[in-house]
Structure 1
Amino acid sequence: MPLPVILLDSVDRDYPCLWGLRRRAALTGISAKVAPGTIFGLLGPNGSGKSTLLRLLAGAERPTRGEIQLFGAPLDSATRGRIGYLPEDSPFPAELSAQAALELLGSLQGMGRGEIRRQGAELLERVGLSAEARTPLSRFSRGMARRFGLAQALLHSPDLLLLDEPSAGLDAPGFLVLGELLDEARALGTTVVLSSHDKDELLLNCDELLLLLDGRVAARGSSAAVLGRPGATQLEIADLDQVRLQELESWVTERGGRVVQSAPASRSLVELYRSEAPGARRP
C-alpha cells in the first residue's frame, strides 16, 4: 500500500488572545490520511478551521501540538517545494505585473528563468490572462486575481495542490478553468485538498470529505456518505409528462414510500457557471 501523501496525527493549533493571557483553539485533535491521487474536500462553515488546516499543510504555520507528515516525511523545505498553494485572500504583490509576479514566485521555488517564462506563459493562457500578462495585479478584478492564483499554484507542477475556497470570488470563465484544472490533476494523479462551504462544488469534485465544526472533525468519508441523508434517495426523472409523474408519485405512496419533494430539476451554480462560461463545451 502506498504511503499517504498527507498524514495528520492529533494536530492542534491555537492562538494567543487577551494579550496572551489565554489561548483560542482553532483546531483540536485533527487526525486524517489522504492517499495519493485523491481529491480531498474540507467542508465547514466560516471559522471552522479549514483555512488554518491548509496553512499548516502549506507550511505557512506550525501546529501547536501533533504531527504532520507529507510524502512520508516531516514538512521541510524539500516537501514544501512539492506543494502548490492558493490562499483564500490572494496575497500577491499588487505592484507587480502578472508575468513579473510569476517570475518572482517561480524563482522562490528554484525554477530557472526559461522554465518560468514557458510555464508562466502557458498557464496565463490557460486561465485566460495572457492579454493581461503585463498588467499590474492591482488592476485585476477579484475574479481575475483568483484565476492568477490558480496559475501561480500550478507554476512548478506540484504533486500536492492546496486550494482554499478556489471558487470564492471566481468569475464565470474561472469556473470553467477550475473544472479543467481539477480534471487534469485527477488524470495526472496529483493529490488535491480543496476547501469550500459549497456542497455542490465538493460533490462535483471530491472523492472524500472531511467535515470540520468548531475546529474538530465532525465526519469523514465519501462525498455521498458525508452529505447524504440516511434513508432518503434522490431520483431525477426526465421525459415524463405531469400525468405520468402523478401516477409515479401514487405508485410510490401505495408501496409505503413518501415523495418528500417534487419540483423541476435545476443546475447547481457551479454547473451553471461552468456550462455557460465562454468556451464551455455544450452537451
Structure 2
Amino acid sequence: MTDEAPPVITATGLVKRFGGRPVVSGVDLVVPQGMIYGVLGPNGAGKTTTLRMLLGIIEPDSGERTLLGHRHPRDASDRVGYLPEERGLYPAMKAREAIAFMGALRGLPWKEGRARAQQLLENTGLGHAADEKIRKLSKGMAQLVQLLGSVVHQPDLLVLDEPFSGLDPVNQERLEALILGERDRGATVLFSTHVMAHAQRLCDRLAIIAGGRRRFEGTVAEARGTLPQQVHYVPHFPNDDLARHLPPDARRDGDGWRFELPHDGIEALLKRLIDAGYGISGLSIERPGLHEAFVRIVGQAALEQAA
C-alpha cells in the first residue's frame, strides 16, 4: 500500500432502520488498501447490516458509500469475495467443485477454478477432502471450503462476516493463516467479529461499533492505549499491612497485586516497598488487552443490553 492509494471503502453517515427501529445510526468508515480491517462489536451492534450496506446487498436509508471506487457497490462485485454469516453450500457438490463454482459466479473460468481450488485445498491441509461431498464434511471443514470459494478468484477485497464462528481451534488457525496470506497477496480484508483475540492478532486497523454507532477507529495499539498500563507486583515478604503501601486501586491477583501504573512512574513506589522490607519477587508492567479496551469503549451497559 502507498500513501497515495485511495481507500478501498468509504462510508459516511450510513443509517438503516428496520420496522422503524434504528439498527445503524450514522456510521463512518474508511478502509485503507492492503490492510486487515476489523469491525468489532457485541451481538446486535449493527455489524452485519453495515457490511451488507457496504457491499450493496441492502441500501442505506441515508448516507453514502463507495467500494473500490464505485458509488454503486455491485458494479465491483467481481472484485469482491464475501463470506456471509449465514453459510450455505450445495451439499451434493464435491469440495473442489463447490470452490470452482463460487469462482465461476465471479467470472473465473471453470478449468482454472478447479485447478486453483485443488491448490487452495492442499495449501490449507484439506487436499484429502477435494473429492468429498459437502454433506460428508465436518461443519468446520465445510466452512473453510466456503471461505476458499470466496478467495478462489483472487479478489481485491475480501469481506468476512463473523468468519471464526463455529470453528474449532485448528480450523481457526487455518483461517487466520489464510487471512494473513490474502493480505500478503495484496488484497484488503474486512471482517466483523465479537471475539477480541482474533482481532488483536490480525487487525492493522479496526472500528468498534455499539448500538449502531461507531465508538472508536484506529489501530489495535491505539485502542489498547485508551487504558492505562497495569502493574503486577508480587512481594517477596508479604504481610497483611502491605495494602496500605500500594495505590488505592490495588487489588489482589493470585500471589500478588495489580494496579494502574502511577502517573509519576513506578520507581518511587518500588523504593518505598523495598525500604519497607517487602522486596520484589515478581514485577511486570503490561498494556491491557483489546478485550479490556473494548469493554471500556463500548461500556458495560451496552454489553449487558446485547447479552
For residue 13 of structure 1, what is the aligned residue in structure 2?
A: 16
Within the candidate set 137, 155, 159, 1:140 is matched to 137
Instruction: State the secondary structure of the residue aligned to 1:85.
Output: strand
- Is contact 1:144–1:171 with CA below 8 Å preserved after alignment? no
Larger-gyration structure (1/2): 2
For residue 254 of structure 1, what is the aligned residue in structure 2?
A: 270
Instruction: State the secondary structure of the residue aligned to 2:12.
Output: strand
2:28 and 2:283 map into 1 onto residues whose CA distance is 40
Map 1:231-242 → 2, pairs under 5 A: 231-233=228-230
The answer to whether residue 121 in structure 2 is matched with residue 124 in structure 1 is yes
Alpha-carbon distance, 1:161 to partner: 0.8
Alpha-carbon distance, 1:88 to partner: 1.6
Once the two structures are superposed, what CA deviation does each residue of 1:115-153 show, in whole Å capped at 9, x if it has no partner? 111111111222333222232222322211221122111
Structure number with greater CO (CA < 8 Å, separation at least 6) is 1
- Is contact 2:108–2:153 with CA below 8 Å preserved after alignment? yes
Unaligned stretches of 5+ residues in structure 2: 238-254, 260-265, 274-279, 290-307
- Is contact 1:208–1:223 with CA below 8 Å preserved after alignment? yes
Once the two structures are superposed, what CA deviation does each residue of 1:39-63 show, in whole Å capped at 9, x if it has no partner? 1111111111111222223332222
For residue 5 of structure 2, what is the aligned residue in structure 1?
A: 2
RMSD: 3.2
User: What amino acid is aligned across from residue 254 of structure 1 in structure 2?
Assistant: L
Distance 1:119 1:226, change over 3 A: same
For residue 30 of structure 1, what is the aligned residue in structure 2?
A: 27
For residue 47 of structure 1, what is the aligned residue in structure 2?
A: 44
Distance 1:86 1:255, change over 3 A: farther
Alpha-carbon distance, 1:252 to partner: 6.9
1:61 and 1:234 map into 2 onto residues whose CA distance is 47
For residue 271 of structure 1, what is the aligned residue in structure 2?
A: none
Distance 1:13 1:186, change over 3 A: same
1:262 and 1:168 map into 2 onto residues whose CA distance is 37
Map 1:177-216 → 2, pairs under 5 A: 177-216=174-213
Alpha-carbon distance, 1:64 to partner: 2.2
For residue 158 of structure 1, what is the aligned residue in structure 2?
A: 155
- Is contact 1:81–1:109 with CA below 8 Å preserved after alignment? yes
User: What amino acid is aligned across from residue 111 of structure 2 in structure 1?
Assistant: G
2:221 and 2:117 map into 1 onto residues whose CA distance is 37
1:93 and 1:58 map into 2 onto residues whose CA distance is 23
Identity %: 31
Alpha-carbon distance, 1:11 to partner: 0.9
